[in-house]
Amino acid sequence: MIEELRKTFRIPPRYRAFVAAADPTDVETVTPAERVRLFPSHKLAGEQTLGGKRTDEFPAWRKSWVIIARSALLGDPYFLDTSKLDAEGDCPVFTCMLGTDAIKPALCASSFQQFLRILATSMEVATGFGEGTLDDEDEAIFREALAPKIKVIDSAALRAGHWT
């Protein structure tokens, strides 16, 4: 299956190694600001949609963008930009808002590895916020606590502002 993903979507080596070692079967990160649901490899092909339409139906969508996760809150995609492969076989992760007139990618992490670190750190920071209803103030406090940790992981992601 991993070889098929490589051929079909040009999945980079770092992401293939992740799927081979820890294919996410039912993984959703939960924080006061976002819920990110990672796709298992067997569902990756079927998840290449935006608002119920195949990505190839959108002129602004690039073939080098591969959706690997989705916001469980809003449905916005998180995607690899495989055209920006680095020397370590990794590439940046972006998101874009659905329901707008144009697809405007926003950087989430400079690499998939950093994306996973940001998700893990976000969940660590979220510990203690509880399971109850959170308001805007709780979300602001969470984002303020997360920002310095993201700066250490990926300063470009912090500057892009998606997480904060």
Cα separations (Å) of 49 from 3, 55, 57, 118, 152? 21, 5, 9, 24, 33
Which range of residues forms the domain containing residue 55? 2-160
Count of domains in the chain?
1
Mean pLDDT of the chain: 92
Tell me, rounded to whole angstroms, the distance of Cα 149 from its chain centroid. 17
Where residue 32 falls (left for φ over 0; alpha for ψ -120 to 50; beta otherwise) is alpha
At 82, which CATH number?
3.40.1580
Neighbours of 137 (CB within 10 A): 8
Q: Are 107 and 157 in contact (CB under 8 A)?
A: yes
Q: Is the pTM of this model over 0.85?
A: yes
Give the residue-averaged pLDDT of 125-139: 74
Structure confidence at residue 134 (pLDDT):
63
Query: 146-156: per-residue pLDDT in tens?
Result: 999 999 999 99
What phi and psi, each to the nearest 5 degrees, are found at residue 66? Answer: -125, 115
Q: What is the pLDDT of residue 133?
A: 59
Q: Is the dihedral of CA 111, 113, 118, 119 positive or negative?
A: positive
